[in-house]
Structure 1
Amino acid sequence: MRAFEDTRPNGIVELLLGDRHSLPLSVVLHLVPGALIVAAYLLIGEPFVKAIGYPTLMGWAIALCLVLIPILSGLLWLGRKHSGRFSLRGVLYYTDKPLSRGKLVAMVIALIVWMMVLSFATAPMNRFFLENFFTWVPYTDDAGSFTKFLDGYSHSVMLTTMVICLPLTGISLPLIEELYFRGFLLPRIAHLGDWAPVVSTVLFSLYHFWSPWVFVSRVIFMFPGFWLTWREKDIRPAIGMHVGVTSILATLGTIAVALNLI
C-alpha cells in the first residue's frame, strides 16, 4: 500500500496531470520554455560558440537541448509519479493512433508541402517584420536569411555544424516539442472547444522568442497540422508535419554545404 501511495499524483503533479489546464496555466507552460531557451542561448550557447569559432546555429541547438531535454525528462518523471515507472503513458494524450496508415501518410505529405511552400512564400513578410519591428532584438545579426548564419566560416566548420545540428534541430528537438506541446498541453485545453488548436498554434508561435518576426507566418503554416491533430485526436499529423519539414530542410542544407553549393 505504501508503494502505491508514493506513486499517486499529488500537488503540482496532480495539477499538471489533470485532464484540464486553466488558460493561465497553459500560457505559462507554453511560454516559459521559450524564455528559458533565449536565456540559455545568451548565457551559454552564444558565448560558447563564439569562443570556439562556430556559427550561432550551434549555439541555438545547445540552448534548445538545455531546455527541451529536461522537459522530456520532466514528462517521464510525471509518468513515474503517475504509474510507478518512467513512461509517457498517462502523461501524453492523442497517442492511440486512430488514423489509418494511408490517411495519415496522405495528411502528412499534404502538410509537409503546405508548410514548406508557405514558409518560403512568407519569407518576405518575415523580413519586413524583422527590419521594421525587431532590429532591437540582440540576436538578429544572422536572421532574415536561410544561409546568413553560415557566412564567414570555413567549409569544415559549416559542414561540422550542419552534421551535428541535423539530428538535433532537424529531428529530435522538434519531436520533443510535439510530444510536449501537442501530446501534453493541447489535449488539456480541449475544453476550449474549437479554440483549442487556435490557442495551441498562437502560443507555440509566441514560444519562439528567438524569432518573433516569424510569428504571423508560423501561425499560418503550422495551424493545419495542429488542427488535424486536435480534430483526429492523433498526435502523428503534427509530428509528421513538423519533424518532416525540419528534417528535410536540415538534410538538404547539409547536402548543399557538403557539395559547396552554399
Structure 2
Amino acid sequence: MHAIEKTRQGAMVQSLLSDRHSLPLSIMLHLLPGAFIIAAYLLIGEPFIEAINYPTLLGWAIALCLVLIPILLGLLWLGRQLNGRFSVRGVLRYTDRPVPRGKLVAMIIPLIVWMMVLSVATEPVNRFLLHHFFTWVPFTSGAGSFTGFMSGYSHSTMVTTMLICLPLTGISLPLIEELYFRGFLLPRIARLGGWAPVASAVLFSLYHFWTPWVFVSRVIFMFPGFWFAWRTKDIRVSIGMHVGVTSIMATFGVLAVALNLV
C-alpha cells in the first residue's frame, strides 16, 4: 500500500512539474484555489469576523491566507521533490530576469498607471453588474464601494483592519498569486502562443469567485501585465504591476481611513 501511494505521489509530482499542463489540468489548477477561498471564508473567515465584529475585508484576508500560503508551501514542496531541498528552482519559470532593470521599470510604471486608471474607471460598470446580475451572491454585503463594507464600524476598528490587511492583501498575497499563476501555471500553457496570456487573464479573473461582477474589468486591466510577462519571459513585470497597484491602493486606503477622508 505504501509503495502504491508513493508511486501515485511520484506521478502527481511529475505531472505538476511537467513542461506542459493539459488544458483541463491547467483550468483545474487555476480555479480550485478560488473554490477553496470561498469555502475558507464561509467556514472560517466570516464566522470569525462576525464573532469579533470586524469588517468583511478582514474575513477575506484570512480566507486568502488560508489558501494562498499553503499554495506557496506546496510550490516549495514540489521544489524539494525536484531539488532535494525546499526551493522554487525549476518549479517556477520566467525567473531568469532577462529584462534589464531600467527597461523593467519603464515597463512597470505605465502598467501600474493603466491598471489603476482602468480599475477606477470601470467601477461604475462593476456596480451595475453587481446590482443587476449578482445580488444572489451570498457575500455581497457592502460590496461595490470602499465605504460600503467599512461603514458601521468604529474608527479604530477600521484603521486596525486596514493596517492588518496592508501587508497581506496589499503585498504578500498578490505576490503569491503572481508566483503561482504567472510563475508556475502560465509557462506551462505557453504552447498556446499568444492565447496563453489571454487564458491566464480569463482564468485568473474567474478564480475570483467572490467578485464575479469584476470579471470583465479585471481581464481588461490585468491582461497587459500578463502579456508582457509572457512575452518577455520575466515574471517581475506582472509582479511589479500587480503588487505595485495593490500596495499603493492599500496604502492610500490606510491613509484615507486614518485621516477620516472616507
- TM superposition score normalised by structure 2: 0.96
Q: What is the rounded CA distance, in whole Å, between the counterparts of 1:137 and 1:84 in structure 2?
A: 44
Q: What is the rounded CA distance, in whole Å, between the counterparts of 1:251 and 1:261 in structure 2?
A: 13
- The corresponding residue for 1:106 is 106
Q: What is the rounded CA distance, in whole Å, between the counterparts of 2:155 and 2:10 in structure 1?
A: 53
Identity of matched residues, %: 77
- The corresponding residue for 1:32 is 32
**Shift in Å, 1:10:** 2.5
Q: Which deviations, in whole Å up to 9, do the C-alpha atoms of 1:209-251 show, x marking residues without a partner?
A: 0100000000000000000000000001100000000000000
Q: Over the residues paired in the alignment, what is the CA RMSD in angstroms? A: 0.9
One-letter identity of the residue aligned with 2:136: W
**Shift in Å, 1:38:** 0.6
One-letter identity of the residue aligned with 2:180: Y
- The corresponding residue for 2:137 is 137
- The corresponding residue for 1:47 is 47
**Shift in Å, 1:110:** 0.3
Q: What is the rounded CA distance, in whole Å, between the counterparts of 2:10 and 2:227 in structure 1?
A: 32
Aligned positions, number: 255
Q: What is the rounded CA distance, in whole Å, between the counterparts of 1:194 and 1:250 in structure 2?
A: 32
Q: What is the rounded CA distance, in whole Å, between the counterparts of 1:126 and 1:210 in structure 2?
A: 13
Q: Equivalent residues in 2 for 1:183-262 (5 A)?
A: 183-262=183-262
- 1:58 paired with 2:58, answer yes
**Shift in Å, 1:128:** 1.1
The residue matched to 1:260 in structure 2 has which SS? Answer: coil
Q: What is the rounded CA distance, in whole Å, between the counterparts of 2:193 and 2:149 in structure 1?
A: 41
Q: What is the rounded CA distance, in whole Å, between the counterparts of 2:218 and 2:239 in structure 1?
A: 15
**Which blocks of at least 5 consecutive residues in structure 1 are unaligned?**
1-5
The residue matched to 1:147 in structure 2 has which SS? Answer: helix
Q: What is the rounded CA distance, in whole Å, between the counterparts of 1:58 and 1:240 in structure 2?
A: 24
Q: Which deviations, in whole Å up to 9, do the C-alpha atoms of 1:130-182 show, x marking residues without a partner?
A: 11110000001111102211100000000000000000000000000000000
**Shift in Å, 1:47:** 0.6
Q: What is the rounded CA distance, in whole Å, between the counterparts of 2:174 and 2:159 in structure 1?
A: 21
The residue matched to 2:10 in structure 1 has which SS? Answer: coil
The residue matched to 1:11 in structure 2 has which SS? Answer: helix
- The corresponding residue for 1:126 is 126
Q: What is the rounded CA distance, in whole Å, between the counterparts of 1:257 and 1:108 in structure 2?
A: 28
**Which blocks of at least 5 consecutive residues in structure 2 are unaligned?**
1-5
Q: What is the rounded CA distance, in whole Å, between the counterparts of 1:49 and 1:173 in structure 2?
A: 19
- 1:179 paired with 2:179, answer yes
- TM superposition score normalised by structure 1: 0.96
Q: Which deviations, in whole Å up to 9, do the C-alpha atoms of 1:18-46 show, x marking residues without a partner?
A: 00000000000000000000110011000
Q: What is the rounded CA distance, in whole Å, between the counterparts of 2:70 and 2:198 in structure 1?
A: 26
One-letter identity of the residue aligned with 1:150: M
- The corresponding residue for 1:92 is 92
Q: What is the rounded CA distance, in whole Å, between the counterparts of 1:258 and 1:134 in structure 2?
A: 31
Q: What is the rounded CA distance, in whole Å, between the counterparts of 2:227 and 2:33 in structure 1?
A: 22
Q: Which deviations, in whole Å up to 9, do the C-alpha atoms of 1:57-114 show, x marking residues without a partner?
A: 0000000000000000000000000000000000000000000111100111000000
Q: What is the rounded CA distance, in whole Å, between the counterparts of 2:136 and 2:10 in structure 1?
A: 44
One-letter identity of the residue aligned with 1:127: R
**Shift in Å, 1:258:** 1.1
The residue matched to 1:114 in structure 2 has which SS? Answer: helix
